[in-house]
Structure 1
Amino acid sequence: MPSRVGFYLAPGQPVERVLPLIARAALGRGQRLLVVAEDGALLDRIGSALWEYAPAEFLANGRADRPYAAHQPVLLSHACAAENGARVVALADGKWREEAEGFDRALLFFDEDGRAAARDVWRRFDGREDVAREFHELEAGKWVRKR
């Protein structure tokens, strides 16, 4: 079960523009990250954004369906399975997956259109003392934790 589930609302911003902030923080803490989305084009956009986020300190990443997946600090995948040993998973397409509960930390990214589905996931953890829920919203280019 995850010890923490983070809900990340990014109104008006595509996930590929905001996920690199989280990836940078995770890598800075020595963590590996698994990024999951069904849409291959979205994974491609996220991969490009990670490489271009800060050219002087690019966020190395690769796809799970390509060689050396196990060596990637940020692994992009259709499946919620961390071949790279990641304990943090980012659900980039706003869709909750049961497998995310096997990670130490699960991050659900969504926009205004996904707010209702995210609320349903939030309620899923009502009464669960083993899970800490966090809600973050993007404000002025920074993730702000809300109460």
Structure 2
Amino acid sequence: MQVDFYHLTATPLERALPQIAERVLAGGGRLLIVAASDEQRRHLDRWLWSYAPDSFLPHAAAGEGDEAEQPVLLAPQVEPANGARFVAIVDGEWRDAALAFDRAFHFFDDDRIREARLAWKGLADREGVERRYWKQNDAGRWEQAA
């Protein structure tokens, strides 16, 4: 199981998340996007339809029905009703339930760096967990830092 920590500094979540989602879907996978806040999920729901002029990222919100059919599902909890093996935690709050997936993407900004560090340390001794830390360089590109 792999956990990728994405420290959002120059690129906001709204630009980073669609890139990850597109890669997951291109590889034939399904993605669960988790945010506790109803407001954040509603914002992301709108954003994923319109983040680029030529974009199409099929998705739905949990509770709207047909969750099992959705390639990307927005949910308040780490429960893959769409059968996802990939999870993106986008509210900065790590959840150990993500360890049941093949890969987790943990997004956080400077306001949540303390919590991210605690999660990083907490996963250090977990057998079978590979951690990677991604940060942005001066050009805004993602680089693996750990």
Normalising by structure 1, what TM-score?
0.90
Structure 1 residue aligned with 2:81: 83
Structure 2 residue aligned with 1:46: 44
**Equivalent residue letter for 1:82:** P
- Runs ≥4 residues deviating over 3 A: 138-142
1:110 equivalenced with 2:104 (yes/no): no
| Aligned partners of 1:8 and 1:109 also within 8 Å | yes
| Aligned partners of 1:89 and 1:103 also within 8 Å | yes
**Structure 1 residues 144 and 123, CA, compared in 2 at 3 Å: closer, same or farther?**
same
Whole-Å Cα distance in 1 between the matches of residues 72 and 10 of structure 2? 24
Structure 1 residue aligned with 2:72: 74
Structure 1 residue aligned with 2:142: 143
Whole-Å Cα distance in 2 between the matches of residues 17 and 41 of structure 1? 18
How far off is 1:36 after superposition? 0.4
5+ residue gaps in structure 2? none
SS of 1:56 mapped into structure 2: coil
Aligned residues between the structures: 145
| Aligned partners of 1:16 and 1:45 also within 8 Å | no
**Equivalent residue letter for 2:144:** R
**Equivalent residue letter for 2:143:** V
1:30 equivalenced with 2:28 (yes/no): yes
5+ residue gaps in structure 1? none
Percent identical = 41
Normalising by structure 2, what TM-score?
0.91
How far off is 1:13 after superposition? 4.4
CA root-mean-square deviation: 1.6
SS of 1:58 mapped into structure 2: coil
> Which digits, 9 at most, give the CA deviation of each residue in 1:36-60, with x for residues without a partner?
0011111112122211123424111
